[in-house]
Amino acid sequence: MKYYIIAGEASGDLHGSNLIKALRKEDAEANIRCWGGDLMEKAGGTLAMHYKELAFMGFLEVVVNLRKIFKNIAFCKDDIARFKPDVVLFIDFSGFNLRIAAWAKEQGYRTNYYISPQVWASREGRIHKIKASIDTMYVILPFEKQFYEEKHNFPVNFVGHPLLDAIESQTPVEAAEFRKEHGLDPHKMIIALLPGSRKQEVEKMLAVMLSVTPSFPEYQFVIAGAPSLDNSFYDRFLKNAQVYYVTNQTYALLSCAHAALVTSGTATLETALFKVPQVVCYKGSWVSYQIAKRIITLTYISLVNLIMDREVVVELIQDKLTTKALKEELNAILSGSKRETIIKDYEILEQKLGGAGASATAAKMIVASLKSTK
């Protein structure tokens, strides 16, 4: 059967790659065309568009790039029509995917969504578009099933979180070897810096993250480079002798880290699953933030706190993200009772996610549904 998958970010590329692997196990003749990245291509998908062409952060940035976005939408529709898939699979990336989903449904294509748009966080009215254009939804967060079924009368399938699969599949990393490979001091503990995957957010976040380094001379700070950005982009941030850089090795870095400063997003959950105490950071453009705070209805922005429904990790957002505040919160998680409490809460969090196997479960359901209608 033929599958068309659309992912628009680094995290979508990761989850999409694991879904592709699972689909190919369930369907030996699977023909998969996709929007994604290197991981999805390596897993066996034929790449129609790389997510590097799609990464626009914030409301202002989207407006500036509207012409390119509309051009990509037109190309995607034409590409799907030429490919004639048995199902179009959407992975998060709601601004783009919900537009394509509405069109695909009108054209008679089967539409599945794997990893729900965060309609529970903002613009809840999008639920009407989802109900109108999506045949089947596969959700990965435990509270999403209740949100869709009880609040909006839309049946969904909870399959567990694919990050558990991604982490479980990683080859264990020896800390000593990792330090040696990257020229790190074997006697200093590592503080991981995860500043995001889009150029605009990395530029904003790294400046404030690195501003705390003089206060922690006994640690070494290691930046997790985004695969969507060239290595040379990070050169300007590496002038400090305490600061190092790795690329495409975020999980290896987290497995060796003592603490982390993390830009809000999927990375907060990844950091938690590696049991690394963290401070969550976020700062957008003034315009983007003013718009966002008027439409986002959540008490928290990090997945860790959202899933636990309480503050497990501190979130420093916009004006609260200062060198002074970041220094204080980082110091608080390097040792002592707060650090111990966070790690214990991470154990509870992992149990809530329902165990590994999300990709395999979703793939079995998708293939079974297609076969039943053939």
- Reported as a single tens digit per residue, the pLDDT across 144-202 is 999 999 999 999 999 999 999 888 888 889 999 999 999 999 999 999 999 998 888 89
What total number of domains does the chain contain?
2
Task: Please tell me whether residues 222 and 278 are part of one structural domain.
Answer: yes
Task: Please tell me whether residues 301 and 184 are part of one structural domain.
Answer: yes
List pLDDT tens digits, range 114-130. Answer: 999 989 888 888 999 99
- Per-residue pLDDT, averaged over 350-358, amounts to 90
The per-residue pLDDT for 61 is 53
The per-residue pLDDT for 295 is 46
Task: Please tell me whether residues 106 and 233 are part of one structural domain.
Answer: no
Buried b (16+ CB within 10 A) or exposed e, 315-337: bbbeeebeeebbbebbbbbbeee
Domain ranges, residue 196: 168-352
Residue 91 has pLDDT above 50, yes or no: yes
Q: What is the CATH number of the domain that holds 80?
A: 3.40.50.2000
CA neighbours within 13 Å on the CB side: how many for 71?
7
Of 232-241, 248-257, 339-348, least confident by mean pLDDT is 232-241
Task: Please tell me whether residues 131 and 187 are part of one structural domain.
Answer: no
Task: Please tell me whether residues 259 and 176 are part of one structural domain.
Answer: yes
pLDDT band at residue 65 using 50, 70 and 90 as cut-offs: low
Query: Contact, 242 vs 220, CB < 8 A?
Result: yes
Query: Contact, 275 vs 293, CB < 8 A?
Result: no
Task: Please tell me whether residues 187 and 329 are part of one structural domain.
Answer: yes
Task: Please tell me whether residues 181 and 39 are part of one structural domain.
Answer: no
List pLDDT tens digits, range 319-352. Answer: 899 999 999 999 999 999 999 999 999 999 999 9
pLDDT band at residue 55 using 50, 70 and 90 as cut-offs: low
Task: Please tell me whether residues 184 and 333 are part of one structural domain.
Answer: yes
pLDDT band at residue 361 using 50, 70 and 90 as cut-offs: very high
The per-residue pLDDT for 246 is 96
Task: Please tell me whether residues 92 and 222 are part of one structural domain.
Answer: no
pTM: 0.79
CA separation for the pair 30, 357 (Å, rounded): 20
CA separation for the pair 159, 42 (Å, rounded): 24
**Residue 262: strand pairing partners:** 194, 280
Give the H or E element holding residue 137: strand 136-139
The per-residue pLDDT for 63 is 56
Task: Please tell me whether residues 189 and 334 are part of one structural domain.
Answer: yes
The per-residue pLDDT for 290 is 52
Task: Please tell me whether residues 246 and 325 are part of one structural domain.
Answer: yes
Task: Share the mean pLDDT of the chain.
Answer: 90
